[in-house]
Chain A
Amino acid sequence: MSTMTRTKPEAPAATRNLVEMNWDPITRIVGSLGIYTKIDFKNREVAECYSTSSIFRGYSIFMKGKDPRDAHFITSRICGICGDNHATCAIYAQNMAFGVRPPALGEWIINLGEAAEYMFDHNIYQDNLVGVDFCEQMVKETNPSVWEKAQKTEAPNAALHGYRRISDIMTALNPFTGEFYREALLMSRLTREMFCLMEGRHVHPSTLYPGGVGTVPTIQLFTDYLVRLMKYVEFMKKVVPMHDDLFDFFYEALPGYERVGQRRVLLGCWGSFNNPDVCDYTYERMTEWGNAMYVTPGVVVDGQLVTTDLVKINLGIRILLGSSYYEDWENAETFVQRDPLGNPVDKRHPWNQTTIPKPQKRDFQDKYTWVMSPRWYDERTGDYLALDTGGGPIARFWATALAGKVDIGYIKATGQSVKIYLPKTATKPEVEFEWKIPKWSNAIERDRARTYFQAYAAAAALYFLEKVMAEVHAGRTKTWSEFKVPDEAIGCGFHEAVRGVLSHHVVIRDGKIANYHPYPPTPWNASPRDIYGTPGPYEDAVQNTPIFEENGPDKFKGIDIMRAVRSFDPCLPCGVHMYLGGGKVLEVRHSPVFGPFGK
């Protein structure tokens, strides 16, 4: 239950009776997140939304003056669930800055490690955290009629996953007591073992280095990975159809559910899994090797693929202020005037950012968050787009599908879909899954893509294993290339953190870090209103989300809002606050948690 405050019926334009409700912290995500809403119960929708974070740590500040080779060890600690994505991205940026190209084997090992991270993280998030929003206990408490219906609805794919009715799936998702919940937890350990085989430790790797990896590439190592991978592949054959059944049921049981968490299709993906045959880490050839990645980078606007060019993606990044607790850096140093290709680099680009924190009171009319507002400048229109990642998978699939570049046997991007082929496993025959471009960018489709991407990561790992074995069998067992740290250099790394776009930008002077800015997915998704007044993705996806929950204001759990927010897989100590606009001054009264309404 939330905390609530009744507002006075007022404002002629609205004549809406709005109830302010907040949930702070939002649980079942990584990091501290709060949600403040004003809800129109009569019209059953959320009125407006602001987004805020509650923790500042200051990486960009304390990394200054440090040895650039330490960057991946340090930045891994940004995130406790996908730290390795940061370590990997930092290494990509270091490789560029140091001018080093790892041996192919080192690159395949990183790809296998990162594939395992996707398999682990999407799995635990989807089935142990998001899944609870769809479990028996939750559905009973929020939508008893949906529970009724679930008990009468046969699961179309029952033969594939073993749950006869939709309600059986929901029961299996109950926290700790649910059978599937516990199975997912076990699988999340198996995939973490796979991860540790490649990168040493979860979640802050021990074996990643600029220039490659320290992992010892024995036959045994890859056998250990393979046998675990095949268990996961078998698990996928049940998980994908099970989630399809569950998600399709929500559209059917609650007509209009597609509007929950829906926003304009504005997706960014920075690409994942480098191809060592093409990737030499030079900025000059970044367009080419970016296009050879096994998840294609891309910006998708209103269903159109704007670009797959990492140079364009890089130059379009802008870090705006507006509602964040920082001072502007207009007068600070410009570190990079032009990129290595001679293109001008904006003052608001991460290479040129200077972080000047200014802690202050939370004020929704002014500054209310520690998150800045990353935007992507669309040179076609002059717009600063508030791209989202949709929690990662939906953007990766959308860009990869439209680009139609990936074709590796186990995976094929067709131009409008992505086909995933999983071979026979111990007890299940081979299958082909197809992720098709959905009609909406909404909560259900973000969640669905997450399940499919688990299968994608497994399929990609099968391919990487083939490549690895070819190297090992040919006796090419070097995993690391030597390098020297230059006195002056710049670098950038692009990767997909589990929950979406990740970039690291470094400037090296006198052999030390002069400037460093990591941009993980959550600042994109959880960004506040920028200087131009454009709301961030959560803010706009939750605004106008319809309310399907059957509870009235006094027992309201906000489940539809939770599903909308969690579909983005928020992961950063950050917060979302939703607020009513219109410049109205609301009478704010607070009631005790379980106390009578509006007292």
Chain B
Amino acid sequence: MAESADEIVVLWITAGLGCDGETIALTGATQPSLEELILGGLPGIPRLVLHNPLLAYEVGEEFLAPFHRAARGEIDRFILVIEGSIPDETNKPEGYWAAFGVDQQTGQPITTCEWIDRLAPKAWAVVAVGTCAAYGGIHAMEGNPTGCMGLADYLGWDWRSRAGIPIVNVPGCPTLPDNLTETLLYLLRQAAGLAPMIPLDDQLRPTWLFEQTAHEGCNRGGYYEQAEFGEEYGSPKCIVKLGCWGPVVQCNVGRRSWLGGVGGCANVGGICIGCTMPSFPDKFMPFMNQPPGSLLSSHAVATYGRAVHALRRFTQASLNKEPSWRQKKPVQAAGSDSRNR
């Protein structure tokens, strides 16, 4: 299958140590949706030819065929997507931690690492989706037996694709659905020559998605400013004292919501546990404790916040009164009670 100029192949490997949550997120995205990318519904954007195990029509070797072709250099331009963290296969005498398909000669599984070694050098771009693939994530938690790591730890942080593109990380546990498809869309646009090099920060994240903190986009920020802190889960106020890490975590969930404008974290009552960050999860645990760093800042905001809040209450009360010249009594006075009840 030689790809034509108006399509681009995506080889998506879910066989890192992960949960397939990014593939599921992919099916939930709406801006753009998977159908729009696959059916070519956006003007000027190459059609995405997706090979992903969850959605594939084909099975087994037939499904793997494009992966083998790409490894042999027979697909000109493809994007390699890695989901799940990369185990250290050298930390044990034999066997495997993670594998994808089987070597038809030996009957032994082909490890995920082996696939990365075969495919990454040939890829036009490589994308690590989810915090596991980007930085190691949950499965790289302290005490894990597999020695797993993020893709950039495996390939090297200075790694460049043959088109000169660094690894693109789209962290999140799981990734916000639209962050995922939008990053792919950017790369498709770049592949079509319609966009410059994808802008990435030093942790290889798309800058436009990750430059702000969750706190900066949180709809509870007003409560924080007024030093109104919830003491119990279920409170509509700022939940920083209940364990929210929003003020220091780079994430756009507050602005984007989770899906279709609905859900999220702090904006709907869930503490931010820092799931997009390279140090996730270890530096955020225990999750339900107040972040140590926020003790000082939430304290500092208290005096100012309470004063401001008191003044605002005063003004608000006044604004809740209709002007004095407006008639407050029913026009029809006594005797028409039944109508007004």
Question: CA separation between A207 and B244, bound complex, in Å?
Answer: 11
Contact among A22, A62, A70, A480 with B233 in the assembled complex (CB-CB below 8 Å)? A480
Q: A22-B60, A54-B98, A207-B269 in contact; A28/B55 too (CB < 8 A)?
A: yes
- Asked if A56 and B146 sit within 8 Å, CB to CB, the answer is yes
Query: Measured between C-beta atoms, what is the minimum distance from B294 to chain A in Å?
Result: 17
CB distance A56 to B24 under 8 Å? Answer: no
Interface-centre pick from B61, B68, B139 (highest chain A CB count, 10 A): B61
Report yes or no: A193 in contact with B259, Cβ–Cβ below 8 A.
yes
For B183, the chain A residues whose CB sits under 8 A away are none
The answer to whether A588 and B101 have CB atoms under 8 Å apart is: no
Question: Would you call B263 an interface residue if the criterion is a C-beta within 8 Å of the partner chain's C-beta atoms?
Answer: yes
Q: A30-B20, A124-B27 are in contact. Are A214 and B239 (CB under 8 A)?
A: yes
> B144 to A61, Cβ gap below 8 A?
yes
Kindly state the separation between the CA atoms of A176 and B93 in the bound complex, as whole angstroms. 45
**Inter-chain contact B94/A23, CB cutoff 8 Å:** no
> Interface residues of B: mostly helix, strand, loop or mixed?
loop
Q: Which residue from B17, B21, B139, B141 sits with its C-beta under 8 Å from A83?
A: B21
In the complex, what residues of A have CB within 8 A of residue B258's CB?
196, 200-202
Q: A185 to B285: give the CA distance in the assembly, Å.
A: 36
Chain A residue, CB-CB nearest to B145 = A58
The A-contacting residues of B in range 157-194, CB under 8 angstroms, are: 173-174
Q: How far is the CA of A206 from the CA of B95 in the complex (A)?
A: 36
Does B92 lie at the interface of the complex (its beta carbon under 8 Å from any beta carbon of A)? yes
B35: Cβ under 8 A from any A Cβ: yes
- Pick from A57, A62, A206: contact of B268, CB below 8 A: A206
Q: Does A303 have its Cβ within 8 Å of any Cβ on chain B?
A: no
Give the number of residue pairs across the A-B interface with Cβ within 8 Å.
291
By beta carbon, the residue of chain B nearest A590 is B104
Does A518 touch B at the CB level, under 8 Å?
Answer: no
Interface pair A206/B264, CB less than 8 Å apart: yes
Q: Roughly how many angstroms separate A207 CA and B92 CA in the complex, as a whole number?
A: 39
Q: How far is the CA of A73 from the CA of B15 in the complex (A)?
A: 22
- B34 contacts which chain A residues (CB < 8 A)? 185
Looking across the interface, which residue of chain A has its beta carbon closest to that of B288? A69
Enumerate A534-568 residues with CB–CB distance to B below 8 Å.
557-558, 562
Q: Is A81 an interface residue (CB 8 A)?
A: yes
Let me know if B281 and A73 touch, CB within 8 A: yes
Alpha-carbon gap, A361 to B92, bound state (A): 12
B23 contacts chain A at the CB level, 8 A cutoff: yes
Shortest CB-to-CB span from A388 to chain B, Å, is: 22
Asked whether A212 lies within 8 Å of B233 as measured between CB atoms, the reply is yes
Contact status B281-A196, CB under 8 Å: no
Q: Is B30 an interface residue (CB 8 A)?
A: yes
List, in ascending order, chain B residues with CB within 8 A of A573's CB: 15, 20, 98
Query: Does B71 lie at the interface of the complex (its beta carbon under 8 Å from any beta carbon of A)?
Result: no
Interface contact B233-A479, CB-CB below 8 Å:
yes
Give the residues in chain A near B105, CB-CB below 8 Å: 590
Q: Is B228 an interface residue (CB 8 A)?
A: no
Q: Is the interface of A mostly helix, strand, loop or mixed?
A: loop
A232 to B114 alpha-carbon distance, docked (Å):
44
Q: Does B19 lie at the interface of the complex (its beta carbon under 8 Å from any beta carbon of A)?
A: yes
Q: A148 in the interface, Cβ–Cβ < 8 Å?
A: no
Given the interface pairs A62-B142, A196-B258, the reply to whether A204 lies near B27 with Cβ below 8 Å is no
Which residues on A sit within 8 Å (CB–CB) of B234?
Answer: 106, 212-217, 477-480
Q: Assuming the A-B contacts A35-B60, A360-B94, are A206 and B54 also in contact, with contact meaning beta carbons closer than 8 angstroms in the complex?
A: no
B292 at the interface (CB under 8 A from A): no
Q: Does B156 contact A (CB under 8 A)?
A: no
- Say if the beta carbon of A182 comes within 8 Å of chain B: yes
For window 20-77 of A, CB contacts with B under 8 Å fall at: 22-32, 34-35, 54-58, 61-62, 64-67, 69-70, 73-74, 77
Complex CA–CA separation, A211 to B271 (angstroms): 15
Interface membership of B109, Cβ < 8 A: yes
Q: Is A467's CB within 8 Å of the partner chain B?
A: no
Q: Are B260 and A34 in contact (CB under 8 A)?
A: no
**Inter-subunit contact A24/B270 (CB<8 Å):** no
- In the complex, A308 has a CB within 8 A of chain B: no
Q: Contacting A214 at CB < 8 Å: which of B65, B233, B285?
A: B233
Tell me the complex Cα distance, A1–B58, Å: 8
Residue of B nearest to A3 (CB): B61
Residue of A nearest to B268 (CB): A200
B198 sits at the interface (CB 8 A): no
**How many Å lie between the Cα of A216 and that of B271 in the bound state?**
13
**Smallest CB-CB separation from A210: which chain B residue?**
B288
Query: Which chain B residue shows the least CB distance to A34?
Result: B102
**Interface assignment of A354: CB less than 8 Å from any CB of chain B:** no
Contact present for B60 and A26 (CB under 8 Å): yes
Say whether A558 contacts B59, CB under 8 Å. yes
Does B54 contact A30, Cβ atoms closer than 8 Å? Answer: yes
Task: Tell me, yes or no, whether A129 is within 8 Å of chain B by CB.
Answer: yes
* Contact A55 B102, CB 8 Å, known A2-B60, A193-B260, A214-B234: no
Contact B62 A593 (CB under 8 A): yes
Given contacts A192-B28, A224-B262, 8 further A-B contacts (CB under 8 A): A25-B63, A28-B54, A56-B17, A188-B27, A196-B263, A204-B275, A359-B96, A480-B233
Q: A residues near B, CB below 8 A? A: 1-3, 22-32, 34-35, 54-58, 61-62, 64-67, 69-70, 73-74, 77-81, 83, 106, 124, 128-129, 132, 137-138, 175-176, 182, 185, 188-190, 192-193, 195-197, 199-207, 209, 211-217, 224, 325, 357-362, 477-480, 482, 557-558, 562, 573, 588, 590, 593-594
The 3 closest A-B pairs by CB, nearest first: A206-B270, A196-B263, A359-B95
A-B contact pairs, 25 of them (CB 8 A): A2-B60, A2-B62, A22-B60, A22-B61, A22-B102, A27-B55, A27-B59, A54-B15, A61-B145, A67-B287, A70-B288, A73-B281, A77-B137, A79-B20, A80-B174, A176-B38, A192-B259, A193-B260, A196-B268, A203-B24, A213-B234, A215-B234, A359-B96, A361-B108, A590-B104
